[in-house]
Structure 1
Amino acid sequence: MEHKREIRLTASDVKEFVTSAEKCDFDIDVFYNRFIVDAKSILGVLSLDLTKTLTVQYAGINPNFEATLNKFCVA
């Protein structure tokens, strides 16, 4: 089952987000407009427009990653 969440990141948040994603054994993609990057790539995530809301799509469950997403989630 695919999960989608909307998040906002600052440049200083990216390392924490990517480190959390790297610990997951499933694919995680981050979308903005027509750009799609691997959430486990710090350069990929930094290349996105961090002033905008990003969509995270993933197909697994990891409690630590969910906690990180909740921290950056858009209300």
Structure 2
Amino acid sequence: MREVKIFLGTIERVKDFVNAVTHLDCDVDIVSGRYVIDAKSIMGIFSVDLSKAVDLRIHAEGTEAEKAMEVISPFIEK
């Protein structure tokens, strides 16, 4: 499992993010406080505070984890 911070601040970024992670074969979760949301659920993402960075958990190892990191790289908080 890998964990990174991402920032999704706008509706457009949320749509782009969900479109990107939907094609991954692994599970991806967003963690905001005590809430864990399926990152492939656009409705779930809109239930968290998007004005702050959130933690993203990628449930994969090896090449699948590398592929996931490549897909989400535009959303990683700098």
What TM-score, normalized to structure 1?
0.86
Taking only aligned residues, the RMSD between alpha carbons, in angstroms, comes to: 1.4
SS at match of 1:43: helix
Structure in which a larger fraction of residues adopt helix: 2
1:32 to 1:25, Cα distance in 2 relative to 1, 3 A = same
Q: What are structure 2's unaligned runs of at least 5 residues?
A: none
Alignment of 1:52-63 (within 5 A): 52-60=52-60, 61=65, 63=67
In structure 2, the residue matched to 1:4 is 3
In structure 2, the residue matched to 1:24 is 24
Q: Percent identity?
A: 30
Deviation at 1:68, TM superposition (A): 3.8
Residues 1-39 of structure 1: CA distance to partner in whole angstroms, max 9, x if unpaired? x10010110221111111111101111000111111000
In structure 2, the residue matched to 1:72 is 75
